[in-house]
Amino acid sequence: MNSEQYLKPDVIQTIKRLDLRAKFIVKGFLQGLHASPFQGFSVEFSEHRRYAPGDDPDDIDWLAYAKTDKYYIKKFEAQTNITGWLIVDTSKSMGYSSGNALTKFDYCISLAAALGYLMISQQDPVGLITFDEKLKQCLKPHSRRGQLAQILSLLTRLTPTGETDLAQSLIQTAAMLRHKSLLIVFTDLLTDKEELIQALYRLRHAGHDIILFHVMDQSEVNFPFNGDVEMTDPETGEVIRLNADGIRQQYLKQLDEFREFYMQQCSQARIDYVALSTDMPFDKALTKYLLSRKGR
């Protein structure tokens, strides 16, 4: 199978091991990158040169190797490495899936695993935070190779449960951060939006960079339901009976307004807002991440 096929969620869900998912997603992405005009994946390096006998193998740029099949040595500018945090919403609503699609949760942990793989390959320290109503687990950032195995092990053991309080979780995160960091948040944004925006602004005021991955199920984006349906809130258990045909246009209009709200608020704060659905190829999100690195 062409490695680019692994950028498709319906293909990646057939791979049960998260470490293989991460590798296939990154391999497919880099293959597509090689065929595209986009050249931003290694912009944090001031210089590359071909590997020569006597060079330290630890200085090899493995991302450049994956893209070109040639060994290059990376020369870092001062203070180019940034500490990254993968911040994953594990609330019960993240476990939703329509049909045979990946759940929002599985989509997010696959994307988080791939980004962790990329960052550690670039020797950037990366850590992991999980939350629902409050912070649950915290794995401190490191750039050593064993860090990826720890991240993947923790992600593999997670189960989406509980309700969501993203704003409070980010406030707790802000209190524990000692250095300016890149915060990569994976969530369905089913939380109080005004409180969340205030928490995001507080983090930006403290100097942190933020990428907000807003992940929705494809049915939440397209609303393909017909006739009388029952919908259950996964976090509260509340059941709502409604006529799907009668509310479709109103629902889609409110969804557009919801996304536009976050897009505008995040743009004002220089936060990267990335709207994704569980049927979108993973390269859209990876490209957004690498473009955001280009401006750091």
Q: pLDDT tens-digit profile of 251-267?
A: 999 999 999 999 999 99
Residues 153 and 179 in one domain: yes
Which amino acid appears at position 19 of this protein?
D
Residues 126 and 56 in one domain: no
| pLDDT, position 214 | 96
Residues 46 and 145 in one domain: no
How far are the Cα atoms of 72, 76, 124, 295 from residue 47, in angstroms, in the given order? 10, 7, 17, 17
Look over the chain and give the mean of its residue pLDDT values, rounded to a whole number: 84
Number of domains in the chain: 2
| pLDDT, position 75 | 56
Residues 104 and 187 in one domain: yes
| pLDDT, position 67 | 63
Residues 60 and 91 in one domain: no
Residues 100 and 221 in one domain: yes
| pLDDT, position 78 | 38
| pLDDT, position 46 | 44
Domain final position from 76, 101, 131:
76
Residues 162 and 282 in one domain: yes
Residues of the chain with pLDDT under 70: 1-3, 33-49, 51, 58, 63-69, 74-81, 100, 292-296
Domain final position from 15, 49, 76:
76
Residue 32's contacts (CB-CB under 8 Å, 6 or more residues apart) are 4, 7, 283
Domain final position from 37, 57, 76:
76
Taking only the tens place, the pLDDT of each residue in 90-126 is 999 999 998 767 999 999 999 999 999 988 888 889 9
Residue 232's contacts (CB-CB under 8 Å, 6 or more residues apart) are 238, 239, 240
Domain extent for 22: 3-76
Helix ranges restricted to H, the chain: 9-12, 18-34, 62-68, 104-121, 146-157, 166-176, 193-205, 218-222, 244-268, 282-294
| pLDDT, position 40 | 40
* Residue 184, beta-bridge partner list: 86, 211
Backbone angles phi, psi at 96, to 5 degrees: -75, 140
| pLDDT, position 259 | 95
Residues 138 and 45 in one domain: no
Q: Which of 289, 231, 294 is closest to 40 using CA atoms?
A: 294
| pLDDT, position 38 | 40
Residues 152 and 232 in one domain: yes
Residues 212 and 184 in one domain: yes
Q: Which of 78, 81, 75 is closest to 47 using CA atoms?
A: 75
